[in-house]
Structure 1
């Protein structure tokens, strides 16, 4: 009888141990959601996009003001990489969750990283570009010191007009300054952001590399090579001279979305010796066939320098553009593999319900930061 009891006890303990996996633990890092203080029930649903593991945590109301309150719960960012928050039946989209961004402000109805609203300030510098001027927006964090011993990494980004101002589009800005501020506060790399404006009149022309025959006639005549040279030969030297930044490849990155995603990818492939990573979100790879991409990439030498390639795309049935872009995004890892690009240098993250706008790129940008600026182990 004692042996039977011991065996049953052992099995019970084993079951408890296994069922404990995925549960919240007060010793784990704290996730924080800022929302209206009138919220009565707030639940965070965490997800691992690779394994499918999930965890639901009922959040507790903590600090509050007249209008907003912080709701907190515990979840391991080493286990989960996305979170959805349900507040009294109102659910957010999936948001990045990691060591760098463990808090989201939901109070405006548009989730932004962190617990406080920001109005990022930046320098505006005009450059000669063909027969006109092109503005470049350079954001530095509050602790930036022009002559301090601490140097800063740089992320160059397309569509600078949509990166900082929360009124930039109907769905807000990219929230990149907010993401970087949170990254720095959580032990990540000090960083500045250089956003190159791409006005509507010339945007398609500027952000379409000329690799050969395009799949859509309206995009013929792309001048992406000129834009690439502008970034590398004009903007980067200016930033290196006038800002307290690292000038080596290891601390230099580039990112963008849609046409800006394909152009950022192109710039990184053209200059693998200058960029440690590229974040291509909802990239317009479909402008060229897979054969054209393989032919182009096969002409490059990535044996010494192969930037980390971070790919993201949504696939919502309600957004035909994003669905089309998702097809090209899914095939790019195979195109890179066919050209002997290191497989461990390619990350692809998909979001089945994702659509083509700044809110979704804002939601995933902190995930790109996690891979571009890995924490030292």
Structure 2
């Protein structure tokens, strides 16, 4: 059953409603998948349909301060109202990743099953039980770290279901070979290879964030941490595919935000969340 639960104490005056939904049992994942569904102001009194944002690592909503952020943006009328479907993770190291291929340590071995869950179970369930628009143009996916790779993989390969993706500190180092076995950036990063092999779809838009303190690793000793290098290299692959990218442009297909001092944590992601949400659900 789906129960209405109050917004956390940090958002005492929030006008959004958080609905805890434990009704969805996944066959491929063999577990009940908990959802926190955040409904926009006026949802209950309205009969209209709304855009939808699916978000990995939904258990982190409180640390992300999502209800407070949404309440503030709605009060400012900075975004279009939308339904947020926050998907609680379970075995995230295995369920997140790229559906086509696990990494060299066989992490992400259930990513294909997770993709099946999203496409064949979650989306139909949400369409049936919540008033959302069913067209790809109204559907967005987002994720953090390895969950960001999962979100990107989902959107890039399913433009018939989604139009936009948000990736916070994406783990685009995800690779098919270890450094001890002769790993090379040019050939062994899984997501970069999938983009090279993939197709261009004019409907897709991409939002990326990294922090300059996401990590300290620098594989090629160029003075730039790997998380930034890997993200920028992925953007380059998207540009080669035909997507547009111009620093500061609001019309380009790709937006990249780099946070000075930003870390690999929910506090940094919360700080930049309004930028992502106003990009994804800009007022028309």
What is the TM-score normalised by the length of structure 2? Answer: 0.78
**Structure 1, unpaired ranges of 5+:** 1-107, 166-172
Write out the 4+ residue segments of structure 1 that deviate beyond 6 Å after TM superposition: none
Instruction: Determine which structure has more spread, i.e. the larger CA radius of gyration.
Output: 1
Distance in 2 between residues matched to 1:186 and 1:219, nearest whole Å: 46
What's 1:4 paired with? Answer: none
Instruction: Determine which structure has the larger strand proportion and give its number.
Output: 1
How far 1:271 moved relative to its partner?
A: 0.8
Question: Contact 1:208 / 1:219 at 8 angstroms: preserved in 2?
Answer: no
Deviation, structure 1 residue 213: 6.8
Contact 2:16 2:38 in 1 (8 A): no
- Equivalents in 2 of 1:192, 1:321: separation in Å? 37
Find out whether 1:314 has 2:216 as its counterpart.
no
Asked if the contact 1:177/1:193 (under 8 Å) is kept, the reply is no
- Greater relative CO, 1 or 2 (CA 8 Å, sep 6+): 2
CA distance change for structure 1 residues 119 and 368 in 2, over 3 Å: closer, same or farther?
closer
Superposed CA RMSD = 2.7
Instruction: Give the alignment of 1:54-203 within 5 angstroms.
Output: 121-125=18-22, 126-129=24-27, 130-145=29-44, 148-163=46-61, 165=62, 173-187=63-77, 188-199=79-90, 202-203=91-92
Write the distance in 2 (CA, Å) between the matches of 1:340 and 1:156: 26
Gaps of 5+ in 2: 1-8, 176-184, 219-224, 246-251
Q: CA deviation at 1:158?
A: 0.3
The answer to whether the 8 Å contact 1:158/1:255 transfers is yes
SS of the aligned residue for 2:262 comes to: coil
Match of 1:331? 233
| Correspondences of 1:1-377 after superposition (within 5 Å) | 121-125=18-22, 126-129=24-27, 130-145=29-44, 148-163=46-61, 165=62, 173-187=63-77, 188-199=79-90, 202-212=91-101, 214=103, 217-288=104-175, 289=185, 291=187, 292-305=190-203, 307-316=204-213, 319-320=215-216, 323-343=225-245, 344-376=252-284
Q: Distance in 1 between matches of 2:17 and 2:159?
A: 30
Aligned to 2:178: none
Within 2, Cα distance between the matches of 1:123 and 1:207? 22
Aligned in 2, Cα 1:321/1:365: closer, same or farther, shift over 3 Å?
Answer: farther
How far apart are the structure 1 equivalents of 2:197 and 2:173? Answer: 20
* Structure 1 equivalent of residue 3 of structure 2: none
Task: Give the superposition deviation at 1:299.
Answer: 3.2
**Matched residues, number:** 250
